[in-house]
Structure 1
Amino acid sequence: MKRHEALIPLSHHHHHALVMALEMKKAGTEKSEKNYKQLIREMINFWKEDGQDHFRDEEDILLPVYLEYAEQPNEGLVKQMLYQHAQIRCLIRHLRESQNTSYDKVNELGKLLDEHVRLEERELFPLIEEAVPDKYLYEAKGGFHRDSLSGK
């Protein structure tokens, strides 16, 4: 899927999130090479380095520009995205703070993260690319944080 150049930094973050999601969905199975404590540590590090800033980029920069320029913004999709952000934050907080967590919570976060990234990439980003003039997408890109893994 061809992505507008201005949204590529967010898609890079999504790629890293999908890698994490895949590992988390496999947690506790014979396909997993890591225990849940390793995965939780990696997820917390990913969240601190990129995840929370990525959510802020989307909520504080990208969504406002979309809502400003879309003639008829898809409110249901925006609400679903924001609800998933809240769910993901809640699960990450649980994994950080709970001493008695389980593979089930790790799997749940992996599934939700996978679903969330696909929602944004397949449904929301195409609407944003269509609605927002290039100039304003590039301006939005200027406010995005740099990915810790790719430097983009």
Structure 2
Amino acid sequence: MKRHQSLIPISRQHHSGLLTARLLQHGAPPYKGMPATPEAKRDYTLGFLQEHLLPHFKLEEETVFTLAPGISEDLAQQTRQLQEQHRQLEKLIIALPHATSLDLPEKLHQIGELLEQHIRLEERVFFEQLQQDLSDEQLQVLQQMVLQHLG
């Protein structure tokens, strides 16, 4: 999938999200240098939320999510769905410290699956449609918004 310049910085951030999503799911192979126990994965995920996900969500919500709803009703609906997933992921991750050792693996798996589904939806559906529906001028505006945000 070829990305327009305006979306490349956001797409690149998705790589670490996909790696984390896979790490959290049942049956994940061990990754060198990555946590292996449920407790270590919980701690990693809490840090990942603060260091990666929250800034990434803010980037999306202050750039692509502000432009997309004005383009089409379909993009507006997708934007609402993606924002709901952002809030759901935040809520699930913030609740991790309260999980028991028995239900922690399942909670991690749930987060991993949702995170992977979310990123795949953005990359395969939302960004594809956005690239098709935005005019060249709108894509340039988006690029400036992303660059300013990343400053």
TM range (shorter): 0.7 to 0.9
Q: CA deviation at 1:73?
A: 4.4
1:139 and 2:144 aligned: yes
Kept after mapping to 2: 8 A contact 1:66/1:73: no
Q: Once the two structures are aligned, what percentage of the paired residues are identical?
A: 26
Equivalent residue for 1:44? Answer: 46
Task: Give, as a single letter, the amino acid of the residue that structure 2 aligns with 1:78.
Answer: T
Q: CA separation in 2, counterparts of 1:30 and 1:72?
A: 38
Question: What is the RMSD of the two structures over their aligned residues, measured on CA atoms?
Answer: 2.0
TM-score, length-scaled by structure 1:
0.83
1:143 aligns to what SS in structure 2? helix
Deviates most, 124-133 or 49-58: 124-133
Deviation sequence 1:104-148 (CA, Å, 0-9, x none):
0000000000000000001111122223323112112213448xx
Match of 2:12 in 1: 12
- Measure how far apart 1:99 and its partner are: 5.2
Compute the TM-score of the two structures, normalised by the length of structure 2: 0.83
SS of 2:114's partner is helix
Q: How many correspondences in the alignment?
A: 142
Query: Structure 1: which 5+ residue stretches go unaligned?
Result: 147-152
Q: Given the superposition, is the C-alpha separation of residues 41 and 65 from structure 1 closer, same or farther in structure 2, using an over 3 Å criterion?
A: same
Which letter maps to 1:7? L
Runs of 4+ in structure 1 deviating by more than 3 angstroms, as ranges, are: 29-33, 143-146
- Mark the runs of 5 or more structure 2 residues left unpaired by the alignment: none
